[in-house]
C-alpha cells in the first residue's frame, strides 16, 4: 500500500498539471479510486454528479443503470448527505437500498464514507466514497478530507468563472445595443418579438412594412449584432434570413429597454 505522502503527492500532481486551467473532477475521482480502491463520487449541493469513478467488481445495477446515466443522486438521499456536517466513515450497509426507498440492497459488506465539501463558509457538496469489506483507515480519511478541500476550491473557482462569463456576456450585449440608432433599436425589438425562442426565420420586408421603417435599417441592425457575436444570421434567399441568438443575455437586456 502506498504511503500517505505518496498518495498526497499524486493528488498534488493533478493541481500542478492543471495550473490556471480548472481541475477535471473525473480526474480526481479516478485517482482517488486508484489510491483508495473504492468508488468515488463528487456530488454538488443540488445532488448533481460532478465527477465519479467506479472501482472494478462493483455490481450495483441501480447506480450503473440509473444514477450514473442521469448524473444525479435522488433528492432524499442527497438531503441525507447534506445533513452530515463532518466526516462520517465506515457506515455499514443496513440492507436497504439508499436510492430506491423500500427496496432491499443486494450489495453486501459495503462501507461508505461521507466527507462534506465546504468553501467560503458554505456547503458546496459532498465527497462520497464506498468500498467493500476493508474499512477506511485514518490515512484514507486524511487523503479524503484533503481531496475535499481541493474540490471545494475548484467548485468556488468554477462558480467565479461562471459569474465572470455572465458579466462578460452582459457587457457585450449592452455594447452592441449601444451602437444602434433609435430606428435600429426599434427594428431589433420587433425582430426578436417575431422569433420563436432563440432562433427562427425573419422576412425583413414584412417587418419593415409592419413597423414603417426601411429594409436597410433592419439589415444594418443585424450586421451590428452579428459583428458583436451576439447573433448568427444566414440568408435563405426569397424565404428570408435565419437568425440564431448566440448570447443568451440578449433577450433579457432588450426587455429592460422596453
Query: Residue 102's domain spans which residues?
Result: 4-164
pLDDT tens digits, one per residue of 30-76? 989 988 999 999 999 999 999 999 887 666 777 777 787 888 998 99
Give the three cell numbers for residue 142: 486524511
Question: Domain with 148 in it: what CATH number?
Answer: 3.30.450.40
Helix (H) or strand (E) holding 164: helix 138-178
pLDDT at 22 over 70: no
Q: What is the spatial distance between Cα 168 and Cα 174, in angstroms, rounded to a whole number? A: 10
Q: Do 134 and 187 lie in a common domain?
A: no
Q: Do 134 and 194 lie in a common domain?
A: no
Where residue 200 falls among pLDDT bands split at 50, 70, 90? Answer: confident
pLDDT at 2 over 70: no
Q: What is the DSSP string of 25-92?
A: HHHHHHHHHHHHTSEEEEEETTSBEEEEEPPTT---HHIIIIIHHHTB--HHHHHHHHT--S-EEEEE
Q: Do 192 and 240 lie in a common domain?
A: yes
Looking at the domain assignment, is residue 173 inside a domain? no
* Entry pTM: 0.73
Q: Please count the structural domains in the chain.
A: 2
pLDDT at 1 over 60: no
Give the three cell numbers for residue 57: 467488481
Amino acid at each position: 500500500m502506498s504511503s500517505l505522502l505518496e498518495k498526497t503527492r499524486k493528488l498534488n500532481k493533478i493541481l500542478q498539471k492543471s495550473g490556471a486551467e480548472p481541475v477535471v473532477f473525473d480526474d480526481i475521482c479516478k485517482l482517488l479510486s486508484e489510491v483508495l480502491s473504492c468508488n468515488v463520487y463528487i456530488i454538488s449541493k443540488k445532488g448533481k454528479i460532478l465527477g465519479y469513478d467506479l472501482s472494478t467488481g462493483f455490481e450495483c445495477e441501480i447506480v450503473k443503470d440509473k444514477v450514473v446515466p442521469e448524473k444525479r443522486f435522488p433528492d432524499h438521499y442527497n438531503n441525507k448527505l447534506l445533513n452530515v456536517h463532518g466526516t462520517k466513515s465506515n457506515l455499514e450497509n443496513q440492507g436497504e437500498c439508499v436510492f430506491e426507498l423500500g427496496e432491499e440492497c443486494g450489495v453486501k459488506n459495503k462501507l461508505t464514507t461521507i466527507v462534506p465539501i465546504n468553501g467560503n463558509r458554505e456547503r458546496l457538496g459532498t465527497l462520497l466514497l464506498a468500498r467493500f469489506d476493508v474499512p477506511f483507515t485514518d490515512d484514507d480519511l486524511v487523503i479524503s478530507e484533503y481531496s475535499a478541500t481541493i474540490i471545494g476550491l475548484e467548485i468556488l473557482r468554477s462558480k467565479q468563472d461562471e459569474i465572470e462569463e455572465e458579466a462578460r456576456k452582459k457587457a457585450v450585449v449592452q455594447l452592441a445595443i449601444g451602437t444602434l440608432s433609435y430606428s435600429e433599436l426599434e427594428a431589433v425589438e420587433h425582430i426578436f418579438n417575431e422569433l420563436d425562442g432563440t432562433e427562427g426565420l425573419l422576412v425583413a420586408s414584412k417587418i419593415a412594412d409592419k413597423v414603417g421603417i426601411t429594409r436597410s435599417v433592419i439589415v444594418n441592425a443585424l450586421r451590428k449584432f452579428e459583428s458583436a457575436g451576439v447573433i448568427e444570421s444566414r440568408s435563405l434567399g426569397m424565404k428570408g434570413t435565419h437568425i440564431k441568438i448566440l448570447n443568451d443575455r440578449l433577450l433579457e437586456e432588450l426587455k429592460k429597454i422596453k
